[in-house]
Amino acid sequence: AASDCPSGWYCVWSGENYTGRMQKVEGNNANLTQFAVFQGFKSRYQHGKNCDFKWYSGTNYTGSSGIIKRGSKLTGSTTHFIKSNKWVNCV
């Protein structure tokens, strides 16, 4: 369930509706490829306390990117991947 994601973390699940294997990260990560779920997930919850989550399609903060606002949730049949991240717009 989305409620399994601790406050201050970005969490992803391998399945739709926050099911399957969950993986979570906090802090900036230059390489998320060691986490299998980040390479193919269908649900996400941005449970950051003070920052937005910026994802990158490549390692070392390269490739395309986007920002996921605090509190944002997403689930569906589309498979997503993230290879690196930073926390931005901190208040």
CATH of the domain at 28: 2.60.20.10
Sheet with 52-58, strands from edge to edge, namely 62-68, 52-58, 84-88
pLDDT, average across residues 12-32: 97
Q: What per-residue confidence (pLDDT) applies to 17?
A: 97
Tell which residue, 89, 83, 86, has the closest CA to residue 38.
83
pTM for this structure? Answer: 0.94
Domain count within the chain:
1
Q: What per-residue confidence (pLDDT) applies to 80?
A: 95
Each residue's pLDDT tens digit, 44-74: 999 999 999 999 999 999 999 999 999 999 9
Query: Which range of residues forms the domain containing residue 67?
Result: 2-88
